[in-house]
Structure 1
Amino acid sequence: MPLSNEQRNQLKTMGHDLPAMIVTGDGVNEGVIAELDRALADHELVKIEISSEDRAERAAAISELCRAGRAELVQTIGKQALIYRKSPQPDKQLSNIHRSG
C-alpha cells in the first residue's frame, strides 16, 4: 500500500537523524538483501547508502532493494535512501518508528 504524503513526511522527519544502517558499494547481492530484510524486520525505517558514483546505478539499486525487501521508498538524497516496511509485530525496543514517537 503506497504511503500518503502525510505518512511520507512523518517518516522523513523520523529518519532525518538516522545513521545509514546498510552501506553498499558492490551493488545488490544476496547478502545485502538479507541484511536489509533483517534491518527492516527489526527497525521498520532504515537508511541505506549506495556508494556508486553513477546516479542511474544508484536509482536501480534502490529500486531493486525496495522490491526485494517489499518496502516503500520514503526519500532519496544523494547517495542515501530512506526505506520503510511496516512490521506485523514490531519490537518497541528496536523499531525506529516506536522509539521516535
Structure 2
Amino acid sequence: MISSKQRAYLRSLANTITPIFQLGKNGIEEAFLRQLEEALEAREIIKITVLENSGYTAKEAINEICESIGCEGVQAIGNKIVIYKASQKNPRIVLP
C-alpha cells in the first residue's frame, strides 16, 4: 500500500508518459494481464487507455487489474488509468 504522498509523486511521473496499452473489446484476459506484468517489470509505471467498447469504466478496470496482478492503482481519470508495481529485478523509481 502506498501513501498519498507517494501516490502524488507517481502521478507527477505519469504526467509525461503516453499510454502503451489499450483495454478494448476483449476485456481483461490472461494474455493482457501477462503483458501488463512484463511491462510493469520493465517500466514500473504504465498508463492504459480504456476504450468505450471494453465494457469497463476506468475505475472498474483499475480495480480488477490491480486485484489480478497485485499492483497499485495510482490514478483513474476519464478513460486513462495509471498503475505502478515495483520491479523485482531492477527497481528504478525511488518513492519518497
Return the letter of the residue paired with 1:19.
T
Return the letter of the residue paired with 1:16.
N
Query: Could you give the per-residue CA deviations for residues 53-97 of structure 1, whole angstroms, max 9, x where no partner exists?
Result: 68x8222222111112210001111010110001122265xxxx3
- 1:90 maps to which residue? 90
Runs of 4+ residues over 4 Å off in structure 1: none
My pick for the range that moved more, 40-49 or 57-66, is 57-66
Return the letter of the residue paired with 1:24.
L
- 1:4 maps to which residue? 3
Q: Aligned partners of 2:28 and 2:53: how far apart in 1?
A: 15
* Identity among equivalent pairs (%): 28
Structure 2 portions without partners, runs of 5+? none
Instruction: With the length of structure 1 as denominator, give the TM-score of the two structures.
Output: 0.80
- 1:64 maps to which residue? 64
Cα RMSD of the aligned pairs, angstroms, is 2.0
Instruction: With the length of structure 2 as denominator, give the TM-score of the two structures.
Output: 0.84
| Matched position secondary structure for 1:20 | coil
In the alignment of these two chains, the number of paired residues is 92
